[in-house]
Amino acid sequence: METALNVLLAVLILGGSALLTQWFTHFMYIRCRRCGMLNARRRTHCRGCSSLLREDTREAG
């Protein structure tokens, strides 16, 4: 029983960290729709193919 709980805990931690990483990546980066390269969210143009990453070109701040 204890082993099953340990396995469950390990799966939860692994799954949780994977989700967290995915969420973090989603939050911090924008994936280019043309070439699929990850770009920092503050960028307006892709560093790979220079295509526009966002619809609005205005910077918020």
When the beta carbons of 20 and 49 are compared against Zn ion, the nearer one is 49
Question: Binding to Zn ion by residue 33, rule CB under 5 A?
Answer: no
Which part of the chain contacts Zn ion (CB under 5 A), choosing from 1-9, 11-19, 20-28, 32-40?
32-40
Least Cβ distance, residue 26 to Zn ion (angstroms): 17
Q: 10 Å Cβ neighbour count for 43?
A: 13
User: Could you report how far apart the first and last alpha carbons of the chain are, in Å?
Assistant: 55
Long-range contacts of 47-56 (CB under 8 A, 24+ apart): 54/30
Q: Which residues contact Zn ion by CB under 5 A?
A: 32, 34-35, 37, 46, 48-49
